Structure 1
């Protein structure tokens, strides 16, 4: 492929927000129009060039325009002004389940999606076994898609998207719902596509994924292209746009707060030291740095899914005071009798704050981690309900 994979030239896109919509002819005639609306700008005069053969990340807050940009690349939307030039065949993995007919089986949807993307039945027959093997949904391939869990949707959607051999693959947050093993295989396949000269464009709130997989990245802010650069540079800019006091520490972690106290490290593990596992005792260990002995501090911890969705959060406030004896540094442990979080990829986040004033002293994402599934687990979602089935 010669030239860039994608080029935006002064692209703008606006959406109508209807406050009162008149759908019938009578209502339109009586009210002299289709109704009242305002316009929201999703993209404004964006110039962006994405070279061929790289993995490119789009970063920004919700509503920044990232997903709109992907839909323009996939030709699901058209710009109101400007041009979007796309060089090659595009395969898009956008909203969960997009492109799947809920009443068709997985097998039927593979053939439907493949034909829409221009593949013949003969070609699909040759590739079907590879698609099924990658998706790993077993007999569910012959079940209606409306019976699928979010993880099964993601597996099948990604398997189809990468096996149609696109020139450009666009992915919008679709990798966040799979389990840890599937996410690792997706990352490996994205790397293989890049080595084969394909272009991959990713929208994700999982900044670790962007940092690991992407060669370049762009920051979107309220419909504008704010910056382009290396993933590390763009992630740092994004964090600073969210937290004005954000800094990069010696370990390369982005942290924020006034710095009057620091969390040195935090880990999550089973009592044996092994990685956390659903349904088993788990310990979160937090190492504190020095702080003013006269200051009453509190510690907080949360676990987020790698797409930013909060799973659980807790603090020491009102539960256990942090004694002055830890002012020279010490260790806290948060003990969980049985971990209800199901298998997947997560981020451990900790923070310190002044217990009297509430002022944030330190906050940092310590590490991404995987939770292993319990033996023979068939549960889906983020947490286990812990119930028992009984017949009445």
Structure 2
């Protein structure tokens, strides 16, 4: 930094005196610069301790601006903030940014490493939050959680971000021993505790009511794959944009269709709490039939209407399909079959070796030989092929977060 840059804000007469002193005594230049740096840092620290942030995001993010314009200012006290660096944010913008969990609300800074006093990218007050979900993302090589926050304003997009287990190591806790003791455990525990201290009870595996199990299944909506979560307050499909949140109070019915021995489709009939909102039907396909019992138990537990056998729904069921009672039996039989296969030893038994030495009718020898050779070859090809696909799948998933990020 040059002397002119450091003292550009000084009054003309004071700047002239500093310049004259440096000219006469060159050794004082470093002293003046050090003094300038110290005073600047001191001023930044004092202003950032208790800085009021009005929820006015940058102009580049019009969606976020529309959803936070009516919130009250937040007192961002650095001594009481939990800072999570490098969070992968997906909605309402796609960036890797620092998230500040401050008393009274959440602040997203404009760039990683930005000072807490810098203008924010996004501010969401606690009074604007409708619900918070902290959900594990399946099939990851290390723990990932999706932080999904819905807003009270019906027209507002939810906030969606991915938090990884690495954040336990990089999180910046509030300064001071007393404040730091409030956040312990892994990052998942810290985030849950933060929202609970804002009088918001988040939905997560840890906060499930007694007697309820955490149910999530892979599914497709059209060509888009994702995960269906069946939660105490909502059914959620994520986590690619748009994320679908069906609050239980708005679900008119759950139906099953296109039922086969291995998969089935699920249809959610839903109407939100907006008066003029129409009833919609959303269909999810390719759900493993072994998940049916858990899903059906969830539907019964929450008293949701099942219209699978309604007259208008029956016409959409394939003639070869089985109905829910038969699907339950198929699910149990499939589970038993899996358990039996796991108990069976691999490799050839003694009987199979002796069987190969028996004499057979000459007319069948050629066919049997061809069949055995072809079968062994195909088995080897299947095993090698499936292994490579699994390796590719694990490599791809390890480099991804939600959707195609992280």
Tell me if TM exceeds 0.5: no
TM bracket, shorter-chain basis: under 0.3
Greater strand share, structure number: 1
